A and B are shown apart, each in its own frame.
Chain A
Amino acid sequence: MRGWRLISALWLILAATCSCQIDPPLHFRKAVDAEIVLSTKVQVEFMWQVNWEAIWDFAWVEESLGPLSYKDPKSMRLHVYTQGLDGEPISHQTHNFMGQEGSVRVFVGTHNFLFHNNDSHVILFESEDDLAPIQATTRIISPGLRESAIIQTIAQKSKAESNDDIYTGEEHVAYAPDELFSLFDWGHVITDDLSTYEYIDGRYVLRIKGELLPSTFIYLIQVRLHNNKGRVVGCGGGAAITGVAAGVNLVTRQTWDQTVSIPFDMYINKEEDPDLLGGRVMSFGLKGCRNPYGTGGNEKEADDARHYLVLSLSYDNGGYKNVRIDITDQFQDLPTGGVITVDLDVNDFPPDDVPPDSGGGGFQALIGEWGEQTGSTTIIN
């Protein structure tokens, strides 16, 4: 009997300890209140050519012309995409916070984090649906405004007179974007295990390590005027750069295949150098560029656009002339921005005679009023 009871007791112990677990184990799908901190500051200087200061000759006056380089973003937006089993997002939450850190409430699970600054005055953020990647672009200048826009006029005339097959499509003119920084952190696991957080000053901090990199790029463009002899006095009609990406996918960092022309101002600093035009334009960079920060040298593979610098030069006699310059090679070599230098011999496009009734070269804003007295378009390269 004792043996029988012993066997029974052992069997009960075995049964009690084996195969009796009630499943599934449950977790808190709780909202983890975490201080999310971006550990990387924006290192704007390294985004350009390392020698940009050496090759940038224009005397840029920040007090009057504005900052030349990037500014630190003042506020951030965080998109939290919760991953499904297949890694695709199944939900999307958005959080805004000042600076580069803030408190957010996220669910336990695996998430993709997309950070970008939201202090832009120009950039539009859009997506096909709530789970689709965020795209950044800028507004197309309206047709009415385009009629009176200096740069659009220049670009259209350049296009009309061009035999370039590549540049025959309807390329819109869009506003130049301003600073846009983004960081996409894929597959970040949020747990309710507080040991996975940093404990700082009584708070549990989730530190996102990564590089908050610009998604819009600064191009510094300078035009060296040879044999000028005081004839070109400025670029009063403005300038434009053509064939740049119309937007960027902030998740993949791939720029759009659609291209636009971006208008900007060119200046001349007569006190420092009367034969040097300088300007600053920001854009999304090369079209179809998979990774502007790549090092493989194939960043420009998809960029089959021609990139022109369009200038409306002002002469000392009150006339002006439209000039289109092919800067494709230089532009494609600078997927993250940099200094583009163009040399122009003013003897190749001297000022036209100003008609006596032109009123001294006053600018006619509407394209229909330009007529032939606007001079010619000169194509360099």
Chain B
Amino acid sequence: MFLQTLISAFLALQLVFPLAGEDSVSVRAGVDTTRTRTPVMAISTNIPYDITWIPEYGITSIPSFTAEFYPRNAKHFTFGADVEWPMWKHWDTHRFMQINNITLWTRRYFPKREDQEQRFKGLYLLANANVARYGIGLNSNKGWLGEALGASLGIGHKWLLGKSRWFIDVGLALGVEYAPYDAFFYGGDATGWYYYDYIGDPEEFQLRNKRFFWVGPTRVYISIGADLFNHKKKR
């Protein structure tokens, strides 16, 4: 599932932002050879999400994937997307951790040098918006199923690990999250059904009749990732 998600997101981004770029940065790669290395995007994963602990649920994983695209002509701005896509279903214990969250964001870097390789490193500000759907069940009596919309502003920092293409990206975002949902519970009867936490005339039932509104931290990440480069050319 996670692999499928990863590949899907990667391919989706390529549809919009093809990897092949014509402009390049020349570097010395040898005595007689000049190679071009053009970082076009970065991929990373958020470690605290990948292995996490949720109260009343336990240790689990929220597989996360982040892609950041470096526009070839931009000097400060990048844009990207985060995808979290856990689809864990523990029917025997009535625990569910299903989140399909997509966040689109943009970052404004503050590079110290007008260096093509270093322009998207260091401190940055970010703005993002997300959309999600979820089905979360902690036990037989606590479950929520719904959707969410959110927006936030944040700050972060990206460090390159030496001369390699690997980096660590750390950040925090504050904002709002609006999540209509329905609570559900396991009926415990012979049908094996899960029920809306609702008693009344079904014709008067309104889907997502409960609301969750959150103001505060919306995203914390300590990611590890790598830059991906354009194909190499010889001149």
Q: Which residues of A contact B (CB under 8 A)?
A: 1, 4-5, 7-9, 11-12, 15, 19-20, 22-31, 33, 82-85, 87, 90, 108-110, 187, 189, 192
Nearest residue in A to B96 (C-beta to C-beta)? Answer: A23
Residue among B12, B18, B188 making CB contact with A1, cutoff 8 Å: B18
Interface of A is mostly: mixed
Kindly list chain A residues whose C-beta atoms are within 8 Å of the C-beta of B218. Answer: none
Kindly list chain A residues whose C-beta atoms are within 8 Å of the C-beta of B133. Answer: 22
Kindly list chain A residues whose C-beta atoms are within 8 Å of the C-beta of B8. Answer: 11-12, 15
- Is A8 within 8 A of B15, CB to CB? yes
- Is A83 within 8 A of B12, CB to CB? no
Kindly list chain B residues whose C-beta atoms are within 8 Å of the C-beta of A11. Answer: 7-8, 11
A-B contact count (CB 8 A): 104
B124 within 8 A of A: no
- Is B11 within 8 A of A30, CB to CB? no
Total interface residues on B, CB under 8 Å, equals: 41
Contacts A/B (CB < 8 Å), 15 sampled? A8-B14, A22-B100, A24-B96, A24-B137, A26-B182, A27-B191, A27-B194, A28-B196, A31-B199, A83-B190, A84-B188, A108-B191, A110-B190, A110-B191, A189-B191
- Is A83 within 8 A of B7, CB to CB? no
**Do A83 and B189 contact each other (CB < 8 Å), given the known contacts A28-B196, A30-B198?**
yes
Residue among B14, B89, B188, B202 making CB contact with A23, cutoff 8 Å: B89
**Do A15 and B5 contact each other (CB < 8 Å), given the known contacts A83-B189, A108-B195, A109-B189?**
yes
B217 within 8 A of A: no
Kindly list chain A residues whose C-beta atoms are within 8 Å of the C-beta of B7. Answer: 11
CA distance in complex: A7, B7 (Å):
11
Nearest residue in B to A189 (C-beta to C-beta)? Answer: B191
Residue among A23, A30, A110 making CB contact with B98, cutoff 8 Å: A23
**Do A27 and B192 contact each other (CB < 8 Å), given the known contacts A11-B7, A15-B8?**
no
- Is A109 within 8 A of B193, CB to CB? yes
Kindly list chain B residues whose C-beta atoms are within 8 Å of the C-beta of A1. Answer: 18, 20
Return A92 CB to nearest CB of chain B, in Å: 13
CA distance in complex: A7, B14 (Å):
11
Q: A28-B202, A31-B199, A109-B191 are in contact. List 13 more A-B contacts (CB 8 A).
A: A11-B11, A12-B12, A20-B87, A20-B100, A23-B135, A24-B194, A29-B187, A29-B195, A30-B201, A84-B188, A87-B190, A109-B187, A109-B189
Kindly list chain B residues whose C-beta atoms are within 8 Å of the C-beta of A28. Answer: 195-196, 198, 202, 205
Return A103 CB to nearest CB of chain B, in Å: 14
Interface of B is mostly: mixed
- Is A4 within 8 A of B14, CB to CB? yes
Residue among B1, B4, B195 making CB contact with A26, cutoff 8 Å: B195
Residue among A4, A8, A9, A84 making CB contact with B189, cutoff 8 Å: A84
CA distance in complex: A8, B14 (Å):
8
Nearest residue in B to A24 (C-beta to C-beta)? Answer: B194
CA distance in complex: A24, B195 (Å):
9
Return B17 CB to nearest CB of chain A, in Å: 12
Q: Mark B179-212, 1 if CB is under 8 A from A, else 0.
A: 0001010011111111110111110010000000
Nearest residue in A to B89 (C-beta to C-beta)? Answer: A23
Kindly list chain A residues whose C-beta atoms are within 8 Å of the C-beta of B199. Answer: 29-31
Kindly list chain B residues whose C-beta atoms are within 8 Å of the C-beta of A23. Answer: 89, 96, 98, 135
CA distance in complex: A19, B88 (Å):
11
Kindly list chain B residues whose C-beta atoms are within 8 Å of the C-beta of A26. Answer: 145, 182, 184, 194-196
B49 within 8 A of A: no
CA distance in complex: A28, B194 (Å):
8
Return B15 CB to nearest CB of chain A, in Å: 5
- Is A25 within 8 A of B198, CB to CB? no
Nearest residue in B to A15 (C-beta to C-beta)? Answer: B8
Return A105 CB to nearest CB of chain B, in Å: 9
Nearest residue in B to A187 (C-beta to C-beta)? Answer: B190
Kindly list chain A residues whose C-beta atoms are within 8 Å of the C-beta of B69. Answer: none
Return A155 CB to nearest CB of chain B, in Å: 47
**Do A90 and B189 contact each other (CB < 8 Å), given the known contacts A8-B15, A26-B145, A30-B202?**
yes
Return B195 CB to nearest CB of chain A, in Å: 3
- Is B198 within 8 A of A85, CB to CB? no
Return B134 CB to nearest CB of chain A, in Å: 7
Residue among A8, A25, A33, A84 making CB contact with B11, cutoff 8 Å: A8
Give the one of A11, A23, A82 with max B CB within 10 A: A23
Nearest residue in A to B193 (C-beta to C-beta)? Answer: A27
Give the one of A7, A24, A82, A189 with max B CB within 10 A: A24
Kindly list chain A residues whose C-beta atoms are within 8 Å of the C-beta of B89. Answer: 23
Kindly list chain A residues whose C-beta atoms are within 8 Å of the C-beta of B87. Answer: 19-20
- Is B98 within 8 A of A85, CB to CB? no
Nearest residue in B to A105 (C-beta to C-beta)? Answer: B199
- Is B194 within 8 A of A25, CB to CB? yes
Return B127 CB to nearest CB of chain A, in Å: 26
- Is A24 within 8 A of B184, CB to CB? yes
Which 6 A-B pairs rank lowest in CB-CB distance, beginning with the nearest? A29-B195, A8-B11, A110-B190, A22-B135, A15-B8, A24-B194
Kindly list chain B residues whose C-beta atoms are within 8 Å of the C-beta of A19. Answer: 1, 4, 87
- Is B190 within 8 A of A30, CB to CB? no
Nearest residue in B to A20 (C-beta to C-beta)? Answer: B100
Return A86 CB to nearest CB of chain B, in Å: 8
CA distance in complex: A109, B196 (Å):
13
Kindly list chain A residues whose C-beta atoms are within 8 Å of the C-beta of B14. Answer: 4-5, 8
Kindly list chain A residues whose C-beta atoms are within 8 Å of the C-beta of B96. Answer: 23-24
Nearest residue in A to B207 (C-beta to C-beta)? Answer: A26
**Do A27 and B188 contact each other (CB < 8 Å), given the known contacts A5-B15, A12-B8?**
no
Kindly list chain B residues whose C-beta atoms are within 8 Å of the C-beta of A83. Answer: 189-190
